[in-house]
Amino acid sequence: MIARPQPNEYPVFAGTYVNMVSQGADVMQLLANSIAETHNLFSNLPSEKALYAYAEGKWTVKQVLGHMIDTERVFAFRAFCFSREQVTLPGFDQDTYVNNTDYNSRRLQDLADEFRMTRQSNLYVFRNFTEEQINRNGTASGNYLTVRALIYMTSGHELHHLRILKEKYL
């Protein structure tokens, strides 16, 4: 089981994501188990909800899922690079990424499938990190992060957006 990261292993903003993972939870099991829940949520969503945004200027359901896919890739890429001792990476502007991809024209099922495949791929990478690699660190967007923290952030980010979807979109 991957030990929970300490607050000094990630920036303050990331505490929102790390804290979404319950104390004592097996983060790898959580990442694996949530694939089906997230995939099913989006796969079974009525098509009229796919382009819904709860307020002006907020993302649609499709854009939220697209953002989840983008962030899944970015966090995993950072963990991969840090595990290989590449220690400085550029930032990632979530709004720029979403605004430069037309998620709204894509089928919701395709996006759900892409999320599932991306998560499955990331799990292969995460499962094969050694203990030494999990403890490595680097800087992204000017923030210090450990590989362990990025794994927890990946899970927590998904949980964060699922909560928002259930509270404000569905």
The verdict on residue 151 lying in a domain is: yes
Burial class of 88 by CB neighbour count within 10 A (0 to 12, 13 to 18, 19+): exposed
User: Could you give the percent of the chain with pLDDT greater than 90?
Assistant: 91
Instruction: Say if pTM beats, i.e. exceeds, 0.85.
Output: yes
| Number of structural domains the chain divides into | 1
The verdict on residue 1 lying in a domain is: no
SS3 146: strand
Give 107-153 pLDDT, tens digit per residue: 999 999 999 999 999 999 999 999 999 999 999 999 999 999 999 99
Give 17-45 pLDDT, tens digit per residue: 999 999 999 999 999 999 999 999 999 99
The mean pLDDT of 50-55, rounded to a whole number, is 97
- pLDDT of 99: 83
The verdict on residue 69 lying in a domain is: yes
